[in-house]
Structures are given as structure tokens and as C-alpha cells.
Amino acid sequence: MNAAIREDVPMSEFTSWRVGGRAQRLVEPRDRSALVRVLRSLAPSEPVYFVGLGSNLLVRDGGIRGTVVVLRKGLSKMERLDDETVRIEAGVACAQIARRALQWKLAGADFFAGIPGTLGGALAMNAGAFGDETWRHVLAIEWISRSGDIERLNARAFQVSYRQVPVPPGQGFLSADLTFKPDPAVTRQGIRELLARRAATQPLDLPNSGSVFMNPPGDHAARLIESCGLKGYRIGDAEVSVKHANFIVNRGKARARDIEALIRHVHDTVAARTGIDLATEVRIIGEPGHDE
């Protein structure tokens, strides 16, 4: 079926934190047809998890019961539909979208260079960077149901908000039609400036998942965390970054349990000292380890 299902696969190879237990089953379909066949071959009760670059994902040490579908290799097409519209498949890295829009002389896609994931993940959480966010540019999407049925929907069918998109369990994004403004004068300078800003403010030299917490209304999670003196706080090899307080980095041998415990500690400390209940951006899935 052009998508061999592997068993007992370490998820540390598929997450940007480089931690996580083993997936019971994992598949990397070569295209959407293979994906349809995989989904229809599984028992209806089988849990399915869609993963891109694993950059917003914490897999617990006990691993995942069910099947993980990794889209970053198979769903990688990009095409220009007209002067303002492009169709991008869910496995395309956001940084690639920024570069291709530049080649197409389309303005407004620079912010994608600051999102460390795939378009599928960006759609699932309305990811954003540098003052812009994904769904401001979405015209329509294609997604696939747990049973392997593909549906196309207008963006207006979704009630999208800051870092939140209501998606029924088992649904996975396949592609999106995005709109940008044609601009023959667009240059690489905008992307260079954003990437330089990102490198100067984020701990890109260590495994991380990007921002851990959503910004509360009228404030920034990083400011609140730093105000509580949590920069550099560690549990095992999981550390609140000294470069950006809303990042948790893996100093080398962190376990998922260390990262999750640190997330809880940061949340509880900020809540106790400021009264603000920070919500996580990171998706946490899987089973606790046997020693937890």
C-alpha cells in the first residue's frame, strides 16, 4: 500500500524535544491514496494520531497505544492556483512555504519562517509568529476522517481563535488553499530579518518544542514566567530556557516526565504568584512510564 506499518517505533525520533516512548504502530504514507488505504485497513476502534515535524508535541515515556501517521514525507506538494492563491499539502514545513512564496513573488508569508513545524500542525493550532497567524491566510482546507473519507471545507466553516482550532478527534488536515498578495518587489530581506530575530531570541541550539504556553490576553507568557524567577529552573535535564522563558529545552538526557513536570511547575508557580492560569500550546499524548 506504499506505506509500510512499523511496530514499536521510538517517538523520540519524531519529536523536536527528542523524547518520548514508543508508538505501538507508525506509518509514513507516500501520498494521500496510501493514507486512505492505511486508515481503512485499521480497526475502527484503533486510535490514530497525525504528526508532522513533532515540534509542538510531547509524547509521554510510556508511549502511544494506536497508530501514529507521520505526514512530513508523503504530503509535500506545493502549487500555485492563481495570482494570489497557493495549495499546500499538510506535510510541507512552514519554512518551505515562506521560501516558495518568495520564489512566487508573494508577500505576507514571511512569518511562516518562524514556525518550526508543518502546515498540518500550523492549521491544527492556528500557529503564528511575528504578529501574523496561519488562519488569516486560509481560504479552504481538505481533511481526512478517521475512516479515510476526504472532505473539502471553506475556511468560514471553522470557529478559529488564538492558537485554537476545533477539530473532531481522528480528523487530519491534508492541504490548505492559502492567499497572499502578489508583489514583484518582494525580497529575501524580510525572511532574513525574521530568522535573525528568531535566532537572537530563541534557544535554537537545543531540542525544544517552540513556545510552551499561550500568551494570556494583554500579556506575554515569557514575561510572566521570567517575572517569577523561573529562567534556568531545571527538573532533570529539562530546563526553562535562559534565552526565552516560554521555551523548555532538553539539555541532553531529559525524559518526557521531566518536561511534563517542569510544565506543571511553571504553570503552578505563575498561577500562585500572579493569579494567571497559563494554557499550554504543546499537545501532550501517550501513556505515563512504568516508573511514574
* All domains of the chain in start order, with CATH: 5-70 (3.30.43.10), 78-182 (3.30.465.10), 203-285 (3.90.78.10)
Could you confirm whether 13 is annotated as catalytic? no
Note if 6 is an active site residue.
no
pTM for the full predicted model: 0.91
Query: Average model confidence (pLDDT) for the chain?
Result: 94
Does the active-site annotation cover 281? yes
The pLDDT tens digits of the residues spanning 230-247 come to 999 999 999 999 999 999
Instruction: Render pLDDT for 6-32 as a digit per residue (tens, 0 to 9).
Output: 999 999 999 999 999 999 999 999 999
Average pLDDT over residues 158-186: 91
Of the pLDDT bands very low, low, confident and very high (cuts 50, 70, 90), residue 1 is very low
Quote the pLDDT of residue 292: 55
Please spell the DSSP secondary structure of 150-191, one letter per residue. EEEEEGGGS--BTTB----TT-EEEEEEEE-EE-TT--THHH
**How many Cα atoms within 13 Å fall on the side-chain side of residue 210?**
24
> Which is the catalytic residue, given 16, 211, 241, 255?
211
How many residues belong to the chain? 292
- Find the angle CA(280)-CA(204)-CA(268) to the nearest 5 degrees: 25
Catalytic one of 163, 255, 257, 260: 163
Residues 6+ apart with CB under 8 A from 155: 135, 138, 139, 140, 141
Q: How far is it, in rounded angstroms, from Cα 44 to Cα 146?
A: 8
Helix axes of 94-103 and 189-201: crossing angle, nearest 10 degrees: 160
Give the pLDDT of residue 171: 86
Chain centroid to CA 206: 17
Task: From the candidates 28, 89, 239, 281, give the one annotated as an active-site residue.
Answer: 281
Instruction: Give CA–CA dist 214/280, Å, rounded.
Output: 6
